[in-house]
């Protein structure tokens, strides 16, 4: 009998594989894919036990997301992105947790966190307006986390950021807003909010989320919820990218085992092709190991009761970003050696290749500020406020 999410994912592996091209064609996860994820409880891995969650170790979460992504990139991406939102809800107001999960513990919550809206204070809460891009898996979610800037009485942004939580009735999903070259099946559409009232209890100050103060004030005890936001939030996204590369590696190996070149040579007898395959396998395995080790170190730090320093967070983010880029570079090396038939749309390898490279486009995988901030910390220099400190 399956007793972990990963066991249940393996039992449904063929469903996830078969639904991959259908997800892409639909521009979102199919109902069958979403149902399989719900049945496996994939989105409940970081959900608090008080509301039917599993509260797994972050390593188990990342490991499971990688496996899902190896079966289908879009499904893994949604599992990683939507799957991390229950982590933050664990220290949101108990009233909003009851609203979301009180009747259905399999309710999914979308995002994005980018502060593309303005929240104007009114009695009891805020009047909220804005438009956001990249709401992954949003068609299958009934609530949403949205980033916003706190406004003054006239609605002018003041600079302070909030995470606001809204029910499906308070925002519009913009159909046709996700027409892209990769990760098409994620359905990462635009959402619009027009004059929605958001009560105070459905908000979280970003400063408290990022500092860990929100988790401490909520009194949650599981160390997972005391990991830095900059370690927890990117984990599912990077895990999905590495998992996509693992899936692409498996497809390439299966293809090369039977491939014959135009001059009649079996590729498996080509030492150069086999060297490239082995090198890519080692690089992708190293990326996996680095990401999981980093998650464990951040968890252990939280379990010890010590708050991570900026330098420790920066080193962790450097590891996470580099793991994604390292895996995709390795996959690109073997995809370029897959021959012209690897480009055909009926060959799933090209879909994995597009999905992997587009996964690097996410803001959390931008290396510039992260690497510079980490390097300055290594030199004993405290980076200034701004891009070098964002998401660290």
Domains parsed from the chain with CATH numbers: 5-101 (1.10.540.10), 109-205 (2.40.110.10), 227-389 (1.20.140.10)
Q: CB neighbours (10 Å) of residue 11?
A: 13
User: Is-above-0.85 flag for pTM?
Assistant: yes
| Euclidean distance between CA atoms 321 and 370, whole angstroms | 8
CA dihedral 210, 213, 216, 217 (to 10 degrees): -130
Dihedral pair phi/psi, residue 111, rounded to 5°: -150, -175
User: 203-228: per-residue pLDDT in tens?
Assistant: 999 999 999 999 999 999 999 999 99
Query: What's phi and psi for 176, nearest 5 deg?
Result: 80, 5
The closest of 298, 108, 316, 124 to 212, measured between CA atoms, is 298
What gap in Å lies between CA 289 and CA 127, rounded to an integer? 45
d(C-alpha 79, C-alpha 23), whole Å: 14
Q: How far apart are CA 47 and CA 34, in angstroms?
A: 17
* pLDDT tens, position by position, 114-128: 999 999 999 999 999
Tens of pLDDT, residue by residue over 53-100, are: 999 999 999 999 999 999 999 999 999 999 999 999 999 999 999 999
């Amino acid at each position: 009998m399956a007793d972990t999410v990963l066991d249940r994912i393996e039992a449904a592996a063929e469903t996830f594989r078969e639904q991959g091209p259908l997800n892409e064609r639909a521009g979102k996860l199919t109902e069958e894919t979403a149902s399989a994820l719900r049945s496996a409880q994939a989105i409940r891995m970081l959900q608090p036990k008080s509301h039917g969650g599993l509260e797994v170790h972050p390593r188990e979460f990342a490991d499971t997301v990688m496996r899902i992504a190896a079966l289908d990139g879009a499904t893994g991406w949604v599992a990683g992105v939507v799957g991390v939102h229950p982590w933050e809800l664990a220290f949101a107001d108990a009233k909003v947790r009851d609203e979301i999960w009180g009747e259905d513990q399999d309710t999914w919550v979308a995002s994005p966190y980018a502060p593309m809206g303005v929240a104007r204070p009114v009695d009891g809460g805020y009047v909220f307006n804005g438009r956001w891009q990249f709401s992954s898996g949003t068609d299958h979610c009934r609530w949403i986390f949205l980033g916003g800037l706190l406004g003054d009485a006239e609605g002018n942004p003041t600079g302070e950021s909030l995470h606001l939580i809204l029910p499906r009735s308070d925002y519009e999903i913009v159909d046709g807003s996700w027409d892209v070259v990769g990760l098409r099946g994620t359905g990462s559409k635009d959402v619009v909010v027009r004059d929605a009232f958001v009560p105070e209890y459905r908000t979280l100050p970003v400063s408290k989320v990022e500092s860990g103060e929100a988790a401490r004030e909520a009194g949650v005890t599981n160390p997972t919820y005391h990991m830095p936001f900059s370690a927890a939030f990117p984990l599912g996204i990077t895990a999905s990218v590495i998992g996509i590369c693992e899936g692409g590696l498996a497809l390439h190996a299966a293809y090369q085992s039977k491939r014959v070149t135009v001059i009649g040579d079996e590729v498996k007898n080509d030492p150069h092709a086999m060297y490239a395959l082995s090198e890519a396998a080692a690089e992708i395995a190293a990326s996996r190991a680095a990401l999981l080790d980093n998650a464990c170190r951040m968890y252990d730090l939280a379990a010890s009761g010590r708050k991570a320093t900026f330098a420790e967070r920066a080193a962790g983010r450097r590891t996470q970003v580099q793991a994604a880029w390292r895996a995709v570079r390795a996959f690109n090396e073997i995809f370029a050696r897959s021959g012209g038939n690897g480009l055909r749309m009926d060959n799933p390898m090209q879909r994995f290749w597009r999905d992997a490279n587009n996964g690097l486009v996410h803001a959390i995988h931008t290396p510039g500020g992260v690497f510079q901030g980490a390097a300055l910390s290594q030199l004993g220099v405290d980076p200034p406020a701004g891009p070098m400190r964002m998401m660290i």
